[in-house]
Chains A and B, each alone.
Chain A
């Protein structure tokens, strides 16, 4: 995609493309250091392409391409403000990823205290297992 300002950009609402993007696409979009750095910059608030490109040695069109990947993946949203098209983080897109990652962590760690108690019950003679020799 080139650095175009299409007519659809006149729409005042953020694009809804993220509704169709999968978490896979979001994680793939994150597998690039420049895009991660751009997201980090956006945690400080809305910014234009020019502002975002300032700290980088790469060209503004290259930054625009990275932003398009992030937008297609549903990680950022852009709105129209006169001649500006500022970007901001898409909280929906980021939230879904963080939920999953938090749940993975919980699945590994959080349940084991509960499993300890269950195992005591399973291996204590006076409380027979609910379904012995189930194979």
Chain B
């Protein structure tokens, strides 16, 4: 079951909605505690995150560094803008490839939904064309990988 939905807003926003079976407290913690972030925020299979700094307070620094077994690596830096426990996170982030990418402004809402959580993440892209390209290229690949991983998870369940 794919619970993720995605829609655009205005010229530059992408809004992603995803439901989780755990309460907002757990989903929120998984977004700010480095030792938890390091376990899921890994992107493609085969990557790990040896460095994870996430200072969960307004003005706090964010720094993630990923690497793969071949010694390749890239990083993400950012600043936390708002941390409202279990309900809302706001931050900016940019990747270093190694050129810095345009700043991505992200607001994440965590809402109770039955016994679970509705997560709504609103990203702001630099312009409409960048957004169109992301939806055309990035999302396709992300979706495909997500489905593949979901199948793995489901096949691992008794």
Partners in one complex: yes
Give the B-binding residues of A (Cβ under 8 A). Answer: 22-24, 27-28, 30-31, 36, 96-120, 122-123, 129-131, 134-135
A-B contact pairs, 22 of them (CB 8 A): A22-B100, A27-B126, A96-B99, A101-B137, A102-B137, A102-B142, A104-B134, A105-B137, A106-B43, A108-B14, A109-B139, A109-B142, A109-B145, A110-B149, A115-B30, A118-B39, A119-B22, A119-B30, A122-B29, A123-B22, A123-B26, A130-B35
- Separation in Å of the A114 CB from the closest CB of chain B? 4
| A-B contacts, CB under 8 A, total | 143
Across-interface contacts of A116 in B (CB, < 8 A): 20-21, 153
Contact digits for B108-125, partner A, Cβ 8 Å, 1 yes 0 no: 000000000000010100
Known: A105-B141, A109-B142. 10 other contacts (CB 8 A): A23-B101, A28-B126, A101-B133, A103-B138, A104-B104, A104-B123, A109-B139, A115-B30, A118-B36, A119-B27
- Cβ–Cβ contact A100 & B101, under 8 A: yes
Give the A-binding residues of B (Cβ under 8 A). Answer: 4, 6, 14, 16, 18, 20-23, 26-27, 29-30, 33, 35-36, 39-44, 85, 95, 97, 99-102, 104, 121, 123, 126-130, 133-134, 137-143, 145-146, 149-150, 152-153
Partner of B127, one of A27, A99, A117, A135: A27
* B127 closest partner in A (C-beta): A31
- Cβ–Cβ contact A112 & B137, under 8 A: no
- Separation in Å of the A31 CB from the closest CB of chain B? 5
Across-interface contacts of B140 in A (CB, < 8 A): 105
Across-interface contacts of B134 in A (CB, < 8 A): 101, 104-105
